[in-house]
Structure 1
Amino acid sequence: MRKIDLLLNEYGESHQDVTNKTIHWICVPLIFLSVVGLIASIPSQAVQSVLGWGNPYANWAGVVLVLVLLYYVTLSIPLSIGMALFGLLCLFVIQLIVRADFAPLWMVSLVIFFVAWVGQFYGHKVEGKKPSFLKDIQFLLIGPAWLMHFIYKRLGIPY
């Protein structure tokens, strides 16, 4: 069995309850988005000097997303493509938040992060099982891929 299948199966073991699954469909993407926002909030003069001054996508979040995508490529190239598209969507949403200018990006991201984690832990309380990342930190990256693999299955795309 491929490593991605093992990881998705192991992750799925603690995500059987319908309520917990529903919460994960909402909270996992929000956590991913909020982390991208928090990383994008780090001053990025060094990145902009390489990728272009004034480029709104030249920030540390883009650099970290490339590294995360390399991890996904080692697990599944098709899933890594879906995760790349989701990462680009997150970068776009981050720019919308910045342009809205109703609060600093780091603050919006921190609120989303906190609220989404409260939801996650509530889902696991309902499930009666601990979050997978407490056993293995890589499950923080498997959660989004687990959701993506359901989208792939629904569309009939092999992962």
Structure 2
Amino acid sequence: MASLFRPGTELMVQYAGYHRDRRNIATHCVGIPLIVFALGVLLARPAVALGGVALTPAWALWGLATLWYLSRGHLLIGVAVSAASAVLFALAQPLGAASTAAWLAWGVGCFVVGWIVQFVGHYYEGRKPAFTDDLVGLLVGPMFVVAEALFALGWCRALFTEIERRVGPTVLRDLHVPAMR
């Protein structure tokens, strides 16, 4: 449990070490939002009306995750990943009111497709997913995807530089050569 509360830089460096192939990172930019959306769908039931607002387990999870993201030491990334997750959860919530078959089909379907996309990325990486060594990777994944988007916009340069200093630049791994990890 101690690893859960490490600083964001340490968490991001560890996670990035499992994600240096650009194709893997690209698949994560699709797979992780699908998984977060799926969690929003699956946790959209039961809903409790409180002052005209429907509270669901999804929003409880979002609140706890937001507190965690905001406390990792990178405020911009914390705010951005929390906002992105809120959008995905808000889009998912109406599916909680759908028929049970539709609710489960969307939730389980997006969850499974998201993980398939993730595992395709790890084929390119030549390395197992980070969460297999440290479950906190399941929380770091959305933070990593949002950070990658911010890096692409030229933001959070100090974190980007520190990650590359410690785990190297991103690459396109030659699939004919075994991964060196």
| TM-score under structure 2 length normalisation | 0.73
Check if 1:6 corresponds to 2:10. yes
Matched, 1:27 2:31: yes
Task: Give the equivalent residue in structure 1 for 2:135.
Answer: 137
Number of aligned pairs?
151
1:44 aligns with one of 42, 47, 51: 47
Backbone CA RMSD of aligned residues: 2.3
How much identity, in percent, do the aligned residues show?
28
Distance (Å, rounded) in 2 between the aligned partners of 1:74 and 1:20 = 27
Partner of 2:60: 63
Unaligned runs of 5+ in 2: 1-5, 160-181
AA at the equivalent of 1:69: T
Deviations 1:67-104 (A, max 9, x none): 01111111132212112211221122114545787953
CA contact 1:40–1:60 (8 Å) conserved in 2: yes
State the Cα deviation string for residues 86-142 of structure 1 (Å, max 9, x = none): 122112211454578795323201111011111211221221101000111111011
Paired residue type of 2:116: V
Structure number with the higher helix fraction is 1
The residue identity in structure 2 corresponding to 1:6 is: E
Say if 2:80 is the partner of 1:82. Answer: yes
Report the Cα distance in structure 2 between the residues aligned to 1:3 and 1:153, rounded to whole angstroms: 19
Query: Who is 1:147 aligned against?
Result: 145
How many angstroms apart in 2 are the aligned matches of 1:153 and 1:20? 16
2:87 counterpart letter in structure 1: L
CA contact (8 A) 1:94 1:105 kept: no
Report the alpha carbon displacement of residue 44 of structure 1 after superposing the two structures with TM: 3.1
Quote the offset at 1:19 in angstroms: 2.0
Amino acid at match of 1:80: G
The aligned runs of 1:57-136 (5 Å cut-off) are 58-75=55-72, 76-95=74-93, 97=95, 104-136=102-134
Whole-angstrom distance in 1 between the partners of 2:81 and 2:20: 23
